[in-house]
Amino acid sequence: MDVLERFLRYVSFDTQSSEESGTTPSTQKQKLLGQALADELRALGLADARMDRYGYVYAHLPATPGREGEPCLGLIAHMDTSPSASGEAVKPQVVRYEGGDLPLNRELGVVMELSRFPMLAKYTGQELVVTDGTTLLGADDKAGIAEIITTVGYLLAHPEREHGPIAIGFTPDEEIGEGADHFDLEAFGAAAAYTVDGGELGELNYENFNAAGAKITVHGLSVHPGSAKDTMKNAALIACQLVGMLPPAQVPEHTQGREGFYHLCDLAGDVTEAQLSVIIRDHDKEKFQARKDLVKNAVEFLNHQYGEGTVELELKDSYYNMREPLQEHMELVEKARAAMEKVGITPVEEPIRGGTDGARLTFMGLPCPNLSTGGFNFHGVHEAIPVEAMEKMVEVLLHLAAPEQK
Residue 119: how many CB atoms within 10 A of its CB? Answer: 12
Active-site option among 14, 40, 80, 141: 80
Residues 239 and 216 sit within 8 Å (Cβ to Cβ): yes
208 phi/psi in degrees, rounded to 5: -145, 175
SS3 label, residue 366: coil
Residues 401 and 155 sit within 8 Å (Cβ to Cβ): yes
Residues 348 and 202 sit within 8 Å (Cβ to Cβ): yes
Residue 312 is a catalytic residue: no
215 phi/psi in degrees, rounded to 5: -110, 120
**Distance of alpha carbon 373 from alpha carbon 123, whole angstroms:** 15
Residues 386 and 346 sit within 8 Å (Cβ to Cβ): no
Strands (E), 92-191: 93-96, 102-105, 110-112, 127-130, 166-171
Residue 80 is a catalytic residue: yes
* Cα Rg of the chain (Å, integer): 23
Closest CA to 274 of 244, 301, 310, 248: 310
Residues 97 and 123 sit within 8 Å (Cβ to Cβ): yes
Strands (E), 247-376: 261-269, 273-282, 311-319, 370-372
Burial of residue 237 (number of CB atoms within 10 Å: 0-12, 13-18, 19+) = middle
Strand partners, 58: 50, 169
Pairing outcome for strands 93-96 and 127-130: antiparallel
The total number of residues shown for the chain amounts to 406
Give the end-to-end CA distance of the chain in Å, rounded to a whole number: 29
**DSSP conformational letter for 123:** G
Q: How far is CA 271 from CA 241, 246, 308, in A?
A: 13, 22, 17
Active-site option among 174, 197, 200, 395: 174
**Segment holding 144, helix H or strand E:** helix 139-157
Active site residues: 80, 174
